[in-house]
Amino acid sequence: MLLTIAWRNIWRNRRRSMIVLISVIVGVAAMMFTDGLSVGMIHQMLDNRIGSHTSHIQIHAKGFNDNRVIGKNIEKTRIVEHAIEQTPDIRHWSRRVVTYGLLSSALSSSGGLIIGVEPEREPNITSIRESIVEGEYLSGAPHEVVIGRKLAEKLQVGIGGKVVGMASALSGDVGSDLFRVVGIYETVSSEFDKTHMFTTLDNAQSMLELDDRVLEYAIIVDDINRVEEAAAQLRRNLSADYEVLSYIDLLPLLVAQMEMYDEMMYIVYIIIGLAMIFGIVNTMLMSVFERIREFGVLMAIGMKNAYVFRMVMIEAFILGVIGTAVGLGLGALFILATGSVGIDLSMFAESLTAFGAGAIIYPKLTMTTVVNVVIIIPLTALVGALYPAVKATRLQPVTAIRYV
């Protein structure tokens, strides 16, 4: 009975009820889209970092990640590779040589990261081959390099240009080699493109006098949600002479940013919820004042205060549920529609590429967003109806019946 009465009361003043519903719907849809856009951007930053170089898991000699010196290399590669082969959930892996060095052309020079990779394996780990905008990817021929567009502009070289790479060799001498640029890549991170040069693993090993030693194993797992389980299994398969680091260990600032964002969104929810509360309080209070004589009659014929309280709360809850349902549907539809084609923010491209997000952002709908909306908005409607409901229960039947 209370549900039926509450439903009828809502539509007694259609204009006011529709204003409240529209405000809830717009608030929910806007909140979902803002959440989805921010989640999409942060996940893109993470995916781009993983896809450009970091990978899901890296294996080094003990202490290499804290002090990247060439002396901390992996000599017994077969032990590591056997451990990788014995670990489930690993899809791809590749060997690398990674060292800081000086990159020079005839016109300019720059510090950067010299990375030796296996041309046949590395495309399964990173997206550099797909990011080539001029020339081609490494073929495996001697003295080939691919560099970022920003680095090419700084060194003032193009396809076919010569670049000298110099870095400390294993013997302590300065190792150097003359490379030919065969490809120029462009990722979504301008900072990455300024500093990374890729050559073949054989070239890097020869230049640094490493023989068959490597400095890093890069690994991609089947399911990123199980990356910690795979890393733990690798640690069990390897001795303490090696360090196994997941992307969570390698990108602590970005992971912390993702966690901080989750906390910040609750603040956004609270702000939007407070705005909705004031709107619902005003609407429900006006509804109570308009029906004072009606409440007086109901109380006079025996309706208990608890039932009056519940009736007002049910009205607010119905408005909140309907607004949430429609807003949730519209917000999800908009996120899914734009999530497949992306939102072009080229006007902010320079800032976005500096953060490693890219000029096109793909909003992402998460279950956390849906759950937050489904719980918070109806609860907010109930909180907003508390004062009007209490106000209705404090009416005196005789006074209320005579109210004009």
Whole-prediction pTM value? Answer: 0.77
Q: Where are the domains of the chain?
A: 2-49+254-401, 63-239
State how far the Cα of 343 lies from the Cα of 71, in Å rounded to an integer.
Answer: 46
| DSSP H or E stretch at residue 380 | helix 367-393
Split at pLDDT 50, 70, 90, the class of 384 is confident
Of residues 369, 349, 276, the one with CA closest to residue 32? 369
pLDDT tens profile 60-101: 999 999 998 999 999 999 999 999 999 988 999 999 999 999
Q: Average per-residue pLDDT in the chain? A: 87
Q: Do residues 345 and 359 make contact, with C-beta atoms less than 8 angstroms apart?
A: yes
Q: How confident is the model at residue 283 (pLDDT cuts 50, 70, 90)?
A: confident
Strand partners, 145: 181, 199
pLDDT digits (tens, 9 = 90+) for 190-206: 888 999 999 999 999 99
| pLDDT for res 353 | 63
Q: According to the model, what pLDDT value does residue 367 have?
A: 86
DSSP state of 224: G
How does pLDDT run across 39-49, given as a tens digit for each residue?
888 888 888 88
The identity of residue 162, as a single letter, is: K
Cα–Cα distances (Å) from 309 to 190, 293, 295, 402, in that order, read 60, 16, 11, 21
Nearest Cα to Cα of residue 190 among 250, 150, 141, 232: 150
Number of continuous H segments (helices) and E segments (strands) in the chain: 14, 12
3-state secondary structure of 312: helix
Residue 359, pLDDT above cutoff 60? yes
Q: Which of the pair, 250 or 19, is modelled with greater confidence? A: 250
Residue 348 banded pLDDT, cuts 50, 70, 90: low
What angle is formed at CA 363 by the lines to CA 358 and CA 366, rounded to 5 degrees? 130
Per-residue burial over 244-267, b = 16 or more CB atoms within 10 Å of its CB, e = otherwise? bbbbeebbeebeeeeeeeeeebee
Q: What is the pLDDT of residue 347?
A: 66
**Which tops the pLDDT comparison, 275 or 332?**
332
Strands 57-61 and 109-117: unpaired
pLDDT > 70 in the chain, percent: 95
- Residue 35 CB: number of other CB atoms within 10 A? 26
User: CA–CA separation, 128 vs 54, rounded Å?
Assistant: 12
